[in-house]
Structure 1
Amino acid sequence: MVTRRATGTGGGPAVRGARRPDLRLPPLAPWADAELERDGDYDGLEFQRADLSGQQGGGARFMDCVLTGCVLDETGLGRARVLDSVLDGVRGVGTQLAEATFRDVEFRSPRLGGAQLHGAVLERVVVRGGKLDFLNLREARLKDVVFESCVLVEPDFGGARLERVEFIDCALKSADLSRATLKDVDLRGAAPLEITRGLDRLSGALIGTGQLLDLAPLLAAELGIKVEGA
């Protein structure tokens, strides 16, 4: 387990670093079907630039798969299980992933808008690059998740549980942490770090000195502190 410490604080409080997926994919066969199937079983397949817009694959299982350049506009994948897989350059609007499970998964440069992952489970997941707009992670569980070199615009973590989650060289804009529970969450690599709701839920998170200064006016307002110049 990686342990990260704050610098310049005399040792400071430690946070446990996220465990990353260790993917070793087997030789893959091309996906030859025209449409996804509900509760389908996809094992060792490569989905190459497939347009899956509007298709319904709820409850499907993807194991040892690679999705490259696929279009996921309004694709229905509620309660799907994505295991030991890579999603590379996927893009879509309104992708339905409610209560889906992602375990040992890498997202590479995704471009998703309004993806619905409420109630989802993410464990040992890396999101590297890309942009995620209006990501709905309400009531989701994130454990050992890394957001790296990506932009998150108005992500909704309302009621979610985040444990060992890292933000590295990320932009986190207008995040909602209402009712969220944070444990070993490292926010130091988020710039900007913008939290519109749920400032009171930052217990269990690690931020930098500069971030604290940026958040100070909002924290003062949250606590009802009036601040005036000398």
Structure 2
Amino acid sequence: MKGARRPEVRLPALEPYGGGELEPDGDYDGVEFRERDLAGQDGAGARFMDCALTECALDGTGLGHARFLDSVLTGVRGVGTDLAGATLRDVELAEARLGGTQLYGAELERVLIRGGKIDFLNLRQARLRDVVFQGCVLVEPDFGGARLERVEFVDCAVRAADFTAATLTDVDLRGAAELGIASGVDRLSGAVISAAQLLDLAPVLAAQLGLRVEG
């Protein structure tokens, strides 16, 4: 089992964001967004390099195909944030409160998601490489058709996850404090779980195999 490589983000001195709305295909380099209401804005295709987003509102924010590189997002919150097709590389996402976030077809590489709670995270057809979920709560995350390589779940709760048609390589689920899989249990080849988790998943595995347990 190969462990995930974690991001090592070292931000330079940052310039405060000057205001105004995000721009599609905008270029933000060394910028700090602090307590900004970015709800409903369109930053599709924008590039965020060496940036910090702290306590920002992202309700319905359009960030499709945006690129977040060597950046830190702390305490961001929002419902329906659109990050479909986005690239996150060397990124730390800490204490987020998000719901219905769209990361469909996104690429995540060396990403640490630490603390917070994310409901209905859509990672269908996404590619995750060297990603760590640590101390967070994931409610009904959708990994359908995604490719996961060197992904770790550490001290986090994973509830009703969907791994339908996913491909897993060196995925470590042993550290998940809570592990619930709603569908796609047949796609867990390439993952490692603990003996206790195997017992918890026994009913799902039995159902997948068509086994009837009686007595």
The TM-score range, normalised by the shorter chain, is over 0.9
Structure 1, unpaired ranges of 5+: 1-14
Matches within 5 A, 1:37-56: 37-56=23-42
Matches within 5 A, 1:1-230: 15-229=1-215
Distance 1:96 1:217 in 2: 35
SS class of match (2:170): strand
Instruction: Between 204-213 and 189-198, report the one with greater CA deviation.
Output: 189-198
SS class of match (2:196): helix
Residue 66 of structure 1: CA displacement?
Answer: 0.3
Work out whether residues 154 and 177 of structure 2, in 8 Å CA contact, stay in contact via their aligned partners in 1.
no
Per-residue CA distance 1:142-175 (angstroms, 9 max, x = gap): 0000000000000000000000000000000000
Residue 197 of structure 1: CA displacement?
Answer: 0.5
Distance 2:108 2:61 in 1: 19
Instruction: Provide the alpha-carbon RMSD of the alignment.
Output: 0.5
Distance 1:192 1:21 in 2: 25
Residue 191 of structure 1: CA displacement?
Answer: 2.3
Q: Which ranges of 4 or more aligned residues in structure 1 deviate by more than 4 Å?
A: none
Per-residue CA distance 1:36-80 (angstroms, 9 max, x = gap): 000000000000100000000000000000000000000000000
Per-residue CA distance 1:118-153 (angstroms, 9 max, x = gap): 000000000000000000000000000000000000
Residue 33 of structure 1: CA displacement?
Answer: 2.4
Larger radius of gyration: 1
Residue 217 of structure 1: CA displacement?
Answer: 1.3
Q: Given the two structures, how large is their TM-score scaled by the length of structure 2?
A: 0.99
Q: Given the two structures, how large is their TM-score scaled by the length of structure 1?
A: 0.93
Paired-residue identity, %: 71
SS class of match (1:106): strand
SS class of match (2:129): strand
Give the counterpart letter for 2:207 in structure 1.
Answer: A
Distance 2:135 2:8 in 1: 19
Distance 1:228 1:27 in 2: 64
SS class of match (1:85): strand
State the aligned residue count. Answer: 215
SS class of match (1:109): strand
Q: Aligned residue for 1:9?
A: none
Distance 1:34 1:206 in 2: 47
